[in-house]
Amino acid sequence: MKRLGMFGVGLLVVGMQMAPALFAADQKTEAKGKMSEKTAAVMSRAIPFQGNVVATDSVARTFTLNGKIKERVFKVNDQTEILIDNKQAQFGAISVGSIVRGTALKLEDAWETKRVSIGAKEPAAPTHTAPSSVAPGSDIKK
């Protein structure tokens, strides 16, 4: 084996010390790539929304909902399902003051709607009966 000079030994030592740091940097880069894939997967799911319409734009086919912090603008496209009382409707049915709910995808700086239902949600019918004032199995004689 050839003798290494002082400079060669120094390079060898520095290289051995840097290898773990470079390896860790590669792992962090891979982790960031995986994280953005996870973020993209989460963002591709439709998220529910509900609110009062405060503005509409028929040219851009958007409507704006009031929010706790800020207003949100939702884009309607040809694939958006618009319903009133579970019947198909057109974009024009969405008007200022309407209550709407539905699902939308969050894009970079906008919301793309998948489904929009116009009108307040109907209350569910009660599924249980009122409790009886007489306990079951008790004999009441008068």
Q: Where are the domains of the chain?
A: 10-44, 47-118
* Per-residue confidence (pLDDT) for residue 79, from 0 to 100: 94
Local structure of 33: helix, strand or coil: helix
Q: What is the pTM of this model?
A: 0.57
The DSSP line for 51-89 is EEEEEEETTTTEEEE--SSS-EEEE--TT-EEEETTEE-
State which CATH number among 2.40.50.320, 1.10.3720.10, 3.40.630.30, 3.40.109.40 fits the domain covering 47-118. 2.40.50.320
Pairing assessment for the beta strands 81-84 and 111-118 based on DSSP bridges: parallel
Residue 76 burial (CB < 10 Å; 0-12/13-18/19+)? buried
Q: Are 81 and 73 in contact (CB under 8 A)?
A: no
How far are the Cα atoms of 48, 73, 115, 120 from residue 97, in angstroms, in the given order?
A: 19, 15, 19, 11
* Per-residue confidence (pLDDT) for residue 68, from 0 to 100: 84
* Per-residue confidence (pLDDT) for residue 14, from 0 to 100: 63
The alpha helices in the chain, defined as continuous H runs, are: 6-43
* Per-residue confidence (pLDDT) for residue 26, from 0 to 100: 58
Per-residue pLDDT of the chain (142 residues; tens, 9 = 90+): 456 566 666 666 666 676 666 556 555 555 555 555 545 545 578 899 999 999 999 999 999 998 888 899 999 999 999 999 889 999 999 999 999 999 999 988 789 999 999 987 776 666 666 565 655 665 666 5
Give the count of beta carbons closer than 10 Å to the beta carbon of residue 88.
9
